[in-house]
């Protein structure tokens, strides 16, 4: 940059409008040297220290007075060397601080940044990216496999796979299983594996635990060449409290709020970003764009959005806003700004929010008062459904609304239905282990629940290992229990999940009218006594619909009546109790022909056998469209 460009970049940083801040701060490789810049406005002095000067005070930096940015150019550093900034803070205390803009760090427990220049890449995924620009995600299948990169699989010596290893094995597995996207828990640098990446130190750095930036680029490109999208979790709400990281960088509130109650996140032991500070807005939005543009990721899931929206979300004291309420206006407007900037630059990129309340409109247009996200995780649906399936069936008739309540609000937002990592840790048990009854019944109900997941309006997400019903809870520092697949029940569960994924992809009625009540028609949601739910999913064409039957008790129902919209013949295309899935049925129900016997609002019905704790999906075969009720 020449001086004029520097002044422009500096001014845009100060006003919160520099969305490529990594080209101003951090490290810039010049023709014959490196230039280092770091924001520490109240520091008394900052030094560049590293392998190239024996970590001494021989390289003092100078301060740009307007912005509080310190800078130095030197020909001493070289690629691959470690460095930090030594900061004499406002109080006079001297401390080693990491570079907030480093793109890679040494392997933990070390915390020094590594001088690493990523060369410009000639990407080969243009066909994939072109299709994403032309397509509408809401009217396409979206079935996400959630992954913790270092514990999906480990090597024989217990070391985790890197993206070099994951490129072949994970991509081929996801493709074989029929998922459309992989979503990674945070890949940003973090010092403690136990945090799963949600306590970030390097917002521009791929964790060295997972390999090099170039290896992750290769991985994403390979996914795209195999028609698989890649999402990443990203944490704009809070960051790691380690002293050598972002907290109180120059000895005063820098990235964090002035108010210590707002700055400290008691629940998670982290520090909260001051989302109203222009410099912080530039920092965070630049980070998000960096991941989208440097790695070609297809979407970003913002973690902990509720904590950014409400002043009283955390444990501990809080101060009401100027209107006396609990709304965090800085967080609200920052999230709108984040989505507006990203959508302007990359309209095809999907923005997703992990948000657990219903007081704020999360998805939809900013002009209408929403935050501008594309999707919101439906945490209410997830909690209700898991509570229901954990319940002894004898009590389910009294709590049937847990299963059906979501029908009342399912179009309020654009939802993703998540069975995520959060539900299989900390003593909550795995999804399979949550299910009521003995092992056979647990697998039956898991297949039933996954059928509801796939047929309920909303996009889908399942955490790794859940696809075959891993019994043990997820362990962040160990690989999944792949040995489970030597057991026929687990193997058949995996076959079922694959079959269900393929059915979801093939059946347009399960996603074509997503976001509209036209996609669903309730047949009977009032059969609490037998605890059977029946509904339809519908596509654009009249004859393109599916009938879903969920039996939530261990009682097989014979001659069970189902109201249907048209006369004709109906064919069962999925029976969760088939032997190949782990059940006992050797054959499907035969085709059923309608009878002119009314059922609720329908003038005709079919009758079939509904297996105990089983789910059926039934499709019209030969029907007369003119006879609709």
Strands in 26-29's sheet, in edge-to-edge order, are: 26-29, 34-39, 69-74, 62-64
- Report the alpha-carbon distance of residue 579 to residue 237 in Å, rounded: 47
- Report the alpha-carbon distance of residue 575 to residue 296 in Å, rounded: 39
- Report the alpha-carbon distance of residue 249 to residue 98 in Å, rounded: 9
Partners of 574 in beta bridges: 617
Instruction: Give every CB contact of residue 261 below 8 A, 6+ residues apart in sequence.
Output: 316, 317, 318, 319
Residue among 531, 210, 509 nearest 400 (CA)? 531
Tracing tokens 């909550």 back to the chain, one arrives at 428
Among residues 354, 355, 413, 512, the one annotated as catalytic is 354
3-state secondary structure of 568: strand
Cis peptide before 109 (omega within 30 of 0): yes
Contact 67, 98 (CB under 8 A): no
Task: Let me know if 274 is a catalytic residue.
Answer: no
Task: Let me know if 591 is a catalytic residue.
Answer: no
Residue among 123, 141, 317 nearest 228 (CA)? 141
Contact 582, 611 (CB under 8 A): no
Among residues 303, 413, 514, 524, the one annotated as catalytic is 303
Structure tokens at 416: 């993703």
- Report the alpha-carbon distance of residue 112 to residue 205 in Å, rounded: 12
- Report the alpha-carbon distance of residue 268 to residue 313 in Å, rounded: 12
Contact 230, 181 (CB under 8 A): yes
Q: How far is CA 586 from the centre of its chain?
A: 38
Pure H helices in 122-254? 126-134, 163-177, 213-225
Structure tokens at 465: 């290992």
Paired sense of beta strands 520-524 and 532-538, if any: antiparallel
Structure tokens at 36: 């280092």
Vertex 185, ends 506 and 227: CA angle to 5°? 30
Buried b (16+ CB within 10 A) or exposed e, 190-219: bbebebbbbbbbbbbbbbbbbbbbebbbbb
Paired sense of beta strands 238-239 and 270-272, if any: antiparallel
3-state secondary structure of 466: helix
Contact 261, 317 (CB under 8 A): yes
Residue among 210, 219, 197 nearest 153 (CA)? 210
Burial status of residue 323 (CB atoms within 10 A of its CB: 0-12, 13-18, 19 or more)? exposed
Quote the DSSP letter at residue 593: E
- Catalogue the active-site residues: 303, 354
């Amino acid at each position: 940059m020449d001086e004029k460009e520097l002044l422009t970049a500096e001014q845009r940083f100060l006003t919160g409008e520099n969305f490529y801040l990594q080209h101003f701060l951090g490290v810039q490789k010049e023709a014959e040297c490196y230039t280092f810049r770091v924001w520490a406005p109240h520091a008394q002095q900052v030094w560049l220290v590293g392998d190239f000067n024996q970590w001494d005070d021989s390289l003092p930096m100078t301060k740009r007075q307007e912005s509080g940015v310190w800078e130095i150019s030197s020909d001493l550093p070289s690629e691959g060397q470690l460095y930090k900034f030594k900061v004499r803070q406002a109080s006079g205390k001297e401390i080693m601080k990491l570079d907030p803009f480093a793109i890679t760090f040494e392997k933990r427990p070390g915390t020094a940044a590594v001088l690493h220049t990523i060369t410009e890449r000639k990407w080969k995924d243009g066909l994939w990216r072109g299709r994403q620009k032309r397509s509408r995600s809401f009217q396409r299948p979206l079935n996400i496999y959630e992954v913790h990169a270092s514990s999906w699989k480990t090597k024989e010596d217990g070391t985790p796979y890197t993206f070099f290893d994951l490129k072949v094995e994970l991509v081929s597995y996801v493709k074989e299983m029929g998922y459309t996207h992989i979503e990674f828990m945070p890949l940003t640098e973090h010092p403690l594996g136990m945090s799963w990446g949600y306590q970030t130190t390097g917002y521009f750095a791929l964790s060295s635990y997972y390999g090099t930036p170039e290896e992750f680029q290769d991985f994403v490109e390979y996914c795209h060449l195999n028609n698989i999208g890649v999402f990443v979790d990203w944490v704009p709400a809070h960051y790691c409290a380690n002293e050598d990281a972002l907290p109180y960088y120059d000895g005063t509130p820098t990235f964090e709020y002035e108010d210590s109650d707002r700055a400290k996140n008691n629940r998670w032991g982290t520090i909260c970003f001051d989302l109203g500070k222009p410099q912080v807005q530039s920092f965070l939005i630049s980070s998000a764009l960096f991941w989208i543009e440097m790695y070609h990721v297809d979407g970003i899931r913002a973690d902990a959005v509720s904590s950014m929206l409400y002043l009283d979300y955390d444990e501990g004291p809080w101060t009401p806003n100027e209107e006396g309420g609990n709304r965090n206006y800085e967080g609200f407007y920052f999230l709108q700004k984040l989505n507006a900037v990203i959508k302007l630059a990359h309209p095809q990129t999907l923005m997703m929010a992990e948000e657990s309340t219903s007081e704020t409109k999360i998805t939809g247009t900013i002009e209408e008062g929403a935050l501008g996200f594309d999707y919101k995780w439906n945490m209410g649906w997830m909690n209700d459904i898991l509570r229901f399936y954990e319940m002894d069936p004898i009590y389910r008739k009294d709590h049937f609304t847990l299963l059906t309540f979501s029908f009342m609000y399912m179009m309020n937002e654009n939802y993703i239905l998540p069975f995520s990592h959060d539900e299989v840790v900390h003593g909550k048990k795995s999804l399979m282990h949550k299910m009521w009854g003995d092992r056979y019944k647990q697998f039956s109900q898991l297949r039933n629940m996954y059928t509801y997941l796939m047929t309920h309006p909303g996009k889908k997400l399942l955490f790794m290992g859940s696809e075959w019903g891993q019994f043990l809870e997820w362990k962040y520092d160990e690989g999944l229990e792949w040995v489970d697949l030597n057991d026929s029940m687990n193997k058949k569960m995996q076959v079922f999940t694959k079959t269900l994924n393929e059915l979801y992809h093939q059946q347009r009625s399960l996603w074509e009218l997503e976001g509209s009540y036209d996609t669903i028609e309730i047949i009977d949601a009032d059969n609490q006594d037998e605890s059977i739910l029946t509904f339809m999913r519908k596509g654009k064409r009249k004859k393109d619909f599916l009938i879903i039957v969920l039996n939530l008790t261990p009682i097989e129902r014979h001659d069970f009546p189902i109201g249907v919209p048209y006369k004709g013949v109906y064919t069962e295309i999925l029976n969760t109790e088939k032997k190949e899935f782990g059940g006992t049925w050797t054959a499907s129900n035969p085709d059923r022909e309608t009878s002119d016997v009314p059922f609720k609002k329908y003038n005709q019905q079919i009758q079939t056998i509904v297996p105990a704790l089983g789910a059926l999906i039934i499709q019209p075969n030969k029907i007369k469209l003119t006879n609709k009720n």
